Amino acid sequence: MRDRIIETIEMAVKEASCHGEIASSWKRPLVGFADAEDPLFGELKTAVRPTHGLPRDLLPGARTVIAYFLPFDPTIPRSNHRGAFSSESWAVAYIETNRLIAGINERLSRLLEHGGFRGTRLPATHNFDEEQLMSDWSHKHVAYIAGIGSFGHHHMLITDKGCCGRLGSVVTDAAIAPTPRSEGERCLFKFDGSCRKCEQRCPRKALGEDPFRRHACYDRLLENARLHERHGLADVCGKCAAIVPCSFTDPVKRAGLKNRANR
């Protein structure tokens, strides 16, 4: 089942990237698996918010959480490098990737059901508390548990293919071996304090030594949503991720630095 799940995700991304009516394109996705009883899921009630769900809350009898990262083609982040507001390409990619994630989750659920299992059909976004700006199911935290990446100074997940892309997840009652997690840092700032590019790039100064200024960040997302509303709902920014050392890769690994895991 593991191989068929990965093949299904890869095929959906490949088809979407070649679709004539879709403007965006993506690189080969990363896929990870987590044991639904991993104790880290319980810790999300502290790390994220007390109401954060457990896999079994979404699917009674849950055994595995499937998480995946869809890396944007590099042309998309490059388009978002300049200017104070998100590029049209970045906004459209956000909308189209959300649709792609919905399609992937539908395909995965059908695949699982055909094999006698169940799977959830979770939305890619807009499942959060609009006052506290926190989610009851955080795809990026779930992806961390599934071994896909680790958090950067910008609060985004840095994977082996960088941070520019979107995350999706599915909870299933199929038992699939979990993906090992790396204990090392992928963020240069967290590794040795040598990088604060994301902080410097933020147009609302939401990042820094102090706690993340979540509402300042969200205000800019809403400004961009109004700017690009003709395309659909694109409450995005992405300036902290576009053309920084972790945009397309793990910069610690790329620099050949010795991380905690291999010191």
Q: Please list the pLDDT of the chain residue by residue as tens digits (263 residues).
A: 999 999 999 999 999 999 989 999 999 999 999 999 999 999 999 999 899 999 999 999 999 999 999 999 999 999 999 999 999 999 999 999 999 999 999 999 999 999 999 999 988 765 655 555 678 899 999 999 999 999 999 999 999 999 999 999 999 999 999 999 988 899 999 999 999 999 999 999 999 877 889 999 999 999 999 999 999 999 999 999 999 999 999 999 998 876 654 43
pLDDT of residue 259: 67
**Cα separation, 24 vs 17, whole angstroms:** 7
Provide the residue type at 263 as one letter.
R
187: helix, strand or coil: coil
**Cα separation, 212 vs 125, whole angstroms:** 20
pLDDT of residue 125: 66
Q: Is there a contact between 251 and 188 (Cβ–Cβ < 8 Å)?
A: yes
Six token digits for residue 95 = 């909308």
**Cα separation, 124 vs 236, whole angstroms:** 13
Which residues touch 20 (CB under 8 Å, ≥6 apart)? Answer: none
**Cα separation, 34 vs 49, whole angstroms:** 20
171: helix, strand or coil: strand
pLDDT of residue 36: 98
Q: Is there a contact between 64 and 174 (Cβ–Cβ < 8 Å)?
A: yes
**Cα separation, 13 vs 192, whole angstroms:** 35
